[in-house]
Amino acid sequence: MNVGALGSSFGIDPSPRAPRVLSIDDSELMHRLLRARLQLEQVEIHCASGGEEGLKMAGEMQPDVILLDIELDGMDGFEVLQRLKENPRTHDIAVIFISATNDTMDRVRCLDLGAVDFVHKPFEIAELKARVRSAIRIQQLLRMLSQRAQLDGLTALWNRAYFDQRLMAEFGEARRHTRRMSLVLCDIDHFKTVNDRYGHPFGDEVLAHFSSILMGGRVSDIPCRYGGEEFGVILPNTSIAEATEVAERFRAAFEEHRWRRHPDLVLTASFGVADIGMLNINGKSADLVAHADGALYNAKRAGRNRVSSIATPMAA
Amino acid sequence: MEGRDRPTDSTRAKASLRSSFSSDPEMRELVDFFIDDLARRVAAISSALDALDRRRLRVLAHQLYGSAEGYGFRPIGEAARILEEEICANQLDDGLAEEVALSVLREKTEDLLTVCRRAIPTPDELP
């Protein structure tokens, strides 16, 4: 499954990696201690010595767990937690407070603000390790559930909800960093006839095979099932010329496939390509979809089994 | 002073203080780092006391309270806890005469410094 560069911000691991733990504490003594004592837990330990630095690192490195001290110079731990929860890139990270406070109301406040646990300083290292392990386990389960809720059951591609969310995020990133970005919308030609003539189980096989072709594309691309026999592929950092080449490879691979149960059958698909450069400065991600949909319509109207990057006037 | 913590005999003792992890070879580097760092901390605590910088003193005590036990120096953590609590109590206790408050602050800080100075590195030859 391709998940692309922003995968982790949607709670999806781009690749298996050691769990990451970020310690936000103004004491170097605590950082040293945690690094030494957690090194056998097969986790990556990162340390920040203040709230601002911790927030920045959390956004960049997407830790699984943050160990947060309440008493920090400047911004205190409560404020750090609030800001972590306000930021979509960090609000799902499990936060464990580590503090010397004996005030019950402080501990209640930590949990009410969204911390998953509280460890009292000075701590027994075995207890801290167990709590970190527990938080990582729960994080991984939540991530798996979230991932499953965003997958299409038949094709194992990302579903429409994920497509909408991810397109908006990638579009925003491309705008912010003045990067290229393209979108391919595609549709299996005469799919209703395939279902009617060969039955729905074969129709499902066609959808699954088409999906496997899209999944076999570039690692950075994000293929999704848009609905029915329509699919969308988000291509970050990609010009329209490159996206057209990618779409052409998909088209050719699908047309060339021979179906075991129907060896004479040739199935095709049509593709519409659009890129962010087609839009004016106020253009939105929905406008990119409209352009790609217009180009797909154009490909259909021109005879199907082709890639078009020219949107029809109506859609543009 | 009545009703307040008195320095205990153990914190006044001159005996050296070893980490409770001193027999653990994996902890040697960590304990030695703590001892090195402690020399700097003792200087910083003394400076903060001379300047009567309660806020700085509290931060330094708080950091030692949270971490000393993790390095196997529970008595240091305990002395740091008492000092931190004293500073917090003084901030809240408006009725306490300033000179008495200062005297207690100095006493608790000295207790912490004394126990810190007793700390020694892991011996070269482990048992």
Ordered by start, the domain boundaries in chain B are 25-118
State mean pLDDT over A36-45.
Answer: 87
- Looking at domain A7-147, its CATH architecture is 3-Layer(aba) Sandwich (3.40)
* Contact at CB, A27 and B34, closer than 8 angstroms: no
Report d(CA A77, CA B124) in Å as an integer: 40
Residue limits of CATH 3.30.70.270 in chain A:
160-308
Report d(CA A291, CA A307) in Å as an integer: 13
* Contact at CB, A122 and B63, closer than 8 angstroms: no
Look up residue A252 and give its amino acid: A
Phi/psi at B17 (5° precision):
-120, 120
- Give burial (CB, 10 Å; 0-12/13-18/19+) of A295: buried
Q: What is the CATH number of domain A160-308?
A: 3.30.70.270
The model's pLDDT over A139-177, given as tens digits with 9 standing for 90+, comes to 989 888 888 899 999 999 999 999 999 999 999 999 999
Residues of A in contact with B78 (CB under 8 A): none
Report d(CA A213, CA A141) in Å as an integer: 29
pLDDT of residue B68: 93
Residue limits of CATH 3.40.50.2300 in chain A:
7-147
- Looking at domain B25-118, its CATH architecture is Up-down Bundle (1.20)
Mind telling me how many Å the CA of B56 is from chain A's nearest CA?
10
Mind telling me how many Å the CA of A76 is from chain B's nearest CA?
13
CB-CB: which of A32, A69, A100 is closest to B33? A32
Mind telling me how many Å the CA of B65 is from chain A's nearest CA?
7
pLDDT of residue A130: 93
The model's pLDDT over A104-147, given as tens digits with 9 standing for 90+, comes to 999 999 999 999 999 998 888 889 999 999 999 999 898 888 88
Q: For residue A56, is pLDDT > 70?
A: yes
Contact A186/A269 with Cβ under 8 angstroms? Answer: yes
Q: Which residues of chain B have pLDDT under 70?
A: 1-14, 91-97, 124-127
pLDDT of residue A310: 83
Q: Does the interface ipTM go beyond 0.85?
A: no
State mean pLDDT over A10-24.
Answer: 70
Give the nearest chain A residue to B77 (CA atoms). Answer: A122
